[in-house]
Amino acid sequence: VTIGLVLFYAHLLPDMVASHFDSAGQANASLEREQFIYTFLVLLVLTPGLIVLQPSIIKRLPNRLTKLEAGDHCLDVERVDKKGKTLQVVFLVLGIKLTCFLGSVYWLVLRANLSYPPMISMQYLMIVTSIFLLLIVCWAIFWQSYFKVTH
C-alpha cells in the first residue's frame, strides 16, 4: 500500500525535490524527482524487507552464532524453532511499523515540497517519530519478555 501511495503521489513532486531539511524545517538538500522516488522506494522495500527476513536468516546460521545468553534471556536455534512462528510475527510487525513510519515521512516530504520554499513541519515530524519510537519500545519490551527463559 505504501509503495502504491509513493508512486501515486510522485507526480505531485517538483522536478527537484527537497529531500533533506535542517532543524528549523527548511530544505537544505535536494534530488531530482526520479532519483528521490527510486531511492525512497529502495529504502521502503529493502529496510523492512531485511527486518522481516531476520527469522529465516537466524534459522540458517550455525548454532554457535545464534546462541545468545544474557542473564535470564536466551536465543538459540532450538528456541527459535519452538517459537519461530511468533518470532516471524514479531519481526513482521516491526517491518510494518517501519513501513508506516517511512510512509509518514514520505507524506511529510511531499507536503513540504508542495509549498515554496519547501519547508517540512518539524512538529509533525517529531510527533510521527515519537509515535514510532514508542511503538518500537513496546515491541522491544514484548520481545524481551517473550524470550525470557523460564526455569
Say yes or no to pLDDT of 25 above 60. yes
Say yes or no to pLDDT of 140 above 80. yes
pTM to 2 decimal places: 0.74
At 61 the three-state DSSP class reads: coil
Q: Grade residue 74 by pLDDT with cuts at 50, 70 and 90.
A: low
What's the CA angle centered on 98, arms 139 and 72, to 5 degrees?
Answer: 25
Could you tell me the end-to-end alpha-carbon distance of the chain, in angstroms, rounded to an integer? 43
* Residue 149 or residue 42, greater confidence: 42
Say yes or no to pLDDT of 117 above 60. yes
